[in-house]
Each structure stands twice: as C-alpha cells, then as structure tokens.
Amino acid sequence: MKRIIKIVFSGILLLAALQETVSAQAFSKNNLKHLYDPFAPLHVRSLAYYTGDRYIVYLQIQINWIGELEDVFDVKYSTSKSFGSSLPERKNFGLTRYLIRRQDQNFYYKFEIPSKNREELLVLDFVTRDRRQNFSFNLPLLSKANTLLFKKKNPELWLKNYIKPSEIQQVLKQNDQFMLAFQEKNFEHARTPNFRRKKKKTKENTKSHLISISPSQFEAGSSAKGLYLSENKNKNKREYFTLKLVDESFPAYTSYTDLLPPLYYIADKNEQETLIANTNPRKVFETFWLSHIQSPEKARLAIKKYYQHVHLANEFFTTYKDGWKTDQGMVYILFGTPDKVYRKKRKEIWIYENEDEKTKIQFTFVRKYGLFNSSEYKLKRPKRYAGDWYRAKDLWRKGIKKE
C-alpha cells in the first residue's frame, strides 16, 4: 500500500513539473535570456511619457561591439495592451532619424508613438540581417515617469533608475531649488525562501522628511545616498518622480561595509547575525570566506565570481532599492544568467538547464505594483525549490559554484 501511495505521489509531482514546463513554453515565443545576459549584443532601456494622445519615448540602446546599430540589425516595433495580448504585425522602424545623443557605444533616441487605447507595452524586435536571430524587448509605456521628470535637462540620462553625484549637473539646472522627501528607510533585501516554516512579515519603516536641496549639494557629496521623492502640484494633480542617489562606483561595491550585506544569501543563521552586528567589516568579510574555503587563491576566485553576480544584479534590477536586494537579484546572484526567460501578462519564468544531469531548475516571478516602482517581480516560493536552493548555496560556500 505504501509503495502504491509513493508511486502515485511521484506521478503527481512529475505531472506538475511537466505542466509547468509546458506553461513556460507557452508564455512568450521568444527566449528573452538576452535581457539579463551581460554578453548579449545589445541592451535596451526606456522611459515613456503620455501626453493625452501619444507617448513620448526616450530610448537607450547599448551595443557590445564597435560599429553601427543599423549595420547589423533591422528594427521592427508594435504596441500592445499587455504581455498576454496578441501583437499586431511589426512595423519597420528606422531609428537613425531619432538619434539625439551618442556616448561611446550608447545610443539615445527620442520619438513619438500615437496612442488610441492607452497601450501598456512597446515591443521592439532587433532582427539580424541574416534573419537568424531576433532580440525582442518588451518595454513598459505606463511607467511612473511623468512631466516633472521630462522638464529636466537631458531626460534620456534618467534611464538607469539611479544617478551618481557627478551626473547631477547633466540633468538638473544649477539654479534649480526644489523640495525632496528623503526616505530614511534602508530597504530590506529579498527574503530567502524559507522552506521549513512560515516567516512572519515585518513592517518596514517608511519614515521620511522634507529637505530643500540644489544640484550643487548633490555634486559636493553633502547629500546622503538613498531614495529621494519629488512632488509637483499642477492644477490639483500631484506628480512624483524618484531620484536614487548612489556612490560613484555603483553598480559595483568597493567598501567592506557594502560588500558584507549581499553575503546574507549564502550565510547560515549565525553568520547572518554576525553580518548585521559587525564592528570590523573587513575582518568579518575575510573570516566568512576563509572559514569555508581554506585556499586563499580559491577564495579569491569565488569572491570575484560572487561579486560579479552582485554587480550584474545591481545593473539589471535596481529600482528604488539596489538590485541585489530584489527577488530577481537574489536568484541571479545564486544561479547566474538564466538559460531561458519567458513572459506572459504578469509572470516571468526563468529556466536553468543542467546538461550533465539533464535536469531543469525553474523559478516563477509575478509582477507587482508598488509605491516606489511601477513594476517589480516577486518570487513564488514553493517547497520544490528547496533542494536546488540549498545545493547552490552550499556550492558557493565551498567555492565550487559553476556557471
């Protein structure tokens, strides 16, 4: 009897896994891995501003080769109501005439798109001239970008979601004096999957205070790093934009104080407490790595690889908080670039393939709307993640994690 129950239970688990794999394949026709692949031939960022009958779109395209975009790709576009809606036929899109700035291998464009039904998505397809590859980007049109942001100088430079003190003069006028609400809260990092028991949710402190500030104060470094909110009242309509001020080294970290917190994801409970209560960041950092990896050379390589993942998590996922603190950033740090990425409506699925063991690891994220961000993907945490999660964590601690 026990054997029969065991066989039936195993069959149910296998069926569930197969159903999830099929549903992932049914999401988006194109594998969107390039969105999070540092070696992809191009990366795209956007901001859109709705005027009432059209969108004004700012676009940044970063190419990872020496040359011109048009020499390699044909560009097509369409708009859609959502990720799950069917897309009309793509139209050819000659971007060259919309170029407003070029900086090294970064191209900045500004163009308008007529809107009939308040579309939520701009789909750009970059198709290689030989038609062998198609890199598709789903760019949100209904973001929290607004008129206050677009009245500033060089609005295309706000596409990163963060800004450095040295860049302030490029986007704000020297004589600007404006009120900002500075968020004192240090936004918490992602909650690691807790497979043994339910964790009580803790309320984050959202304390803030108003300050009057000018661009020169930002540039001089007298302002605290963190999230600033600006409000503009116009005809009884409130408009907001966020300004996340970061260190010059960001998205990389250079101080031991900043290097310690991301270790939370591979630390055990006692080590996590040590990370929080540290009085000597350098000593805690070195002790953590060398207590698990006795070879200094092996430890050095593990540290380099781990913080490359942290760097990329900050680059890809930073919004109102550093990218490593997000759910997607957490998974990216432990597992690296996913082999396959699919989207549909409010879901995004990441698949990691293990060719040696012929197995797959699959993570599902659900798009949520928050106070400081128009969209953030939250990880679903079913118990079946447990084995893969603890295995990846253990490999990092031993310094043998492979890409």
Longest CA–CA span in the chain (Å) reads 80
User: Is the CB of residue 306 less than 8 Å from the CB of residue 259?
Assistant: no
Q: Please report, rounded to a whole number, the percentage of residues in the chain having pLDDT higher than 90.
A: 35
Give the strands of the sheet with 54-63, arranged side by side.
42-50, 54-63, 106-114, 99-103
**Is 33 within 8 Å of 134 (Cβ atoms)?**
no
Count Cβ atoms below 10 Å from residue 165 Cβ, excluding itself.
19
pLDDT at 221: 54
Q: Long-range contacts of range 113-117, CB-CB < 8 Å, 24 or more positions apart?
A: 113/54, 113/55, 113/57, 113/79, 113/141, 114/53, 114/54, 115/50, 115/53, 115/54, 115/55, 115/79, 115/141, 117/81
Q: Are 132 and 101 within 8 A, CB to CB? A: no
**CB-based contacts of 117: which residues, under 8 Å, 6+ apart?**
81
Cβ atoms of residues 90 and 67 within 8 Å: no
As a whole number of angstroms, the distance between CA 209 and CA 394 comes to: 42
Q: What is the pLDDT of residues 354-367, one digit of tens each?
A: 766 567 899 999 98
Taking the C-alpha atoms of residue 310 and residue 304, their distance in angstroms, rounded to an integer, is: 10
Give the pTM. 0.83
pLDDT in tens, 193-232: 765 545 555 455 455 555 555 555 555 555 667 777 766 5
Closest to 218 measured CA to CA, from 171, 168, 184 = 168
User: For residue 30, what pLDDT is reported?
Assistant: 79
Say what the pLDDT of residue 310 is.
Answer: 98
Selection from 103, 236, 117 nearest residue 159 by Cα? 103
- 3 state DSSP class of 355: coil
Lowest pLDDT segment from 106-110, 211-215, 302-306 = 211-215
Domains of the chain: 33-140 (2.60.40.1200), 147-194+205-245 (no CATH), 256-398 (no CATH)
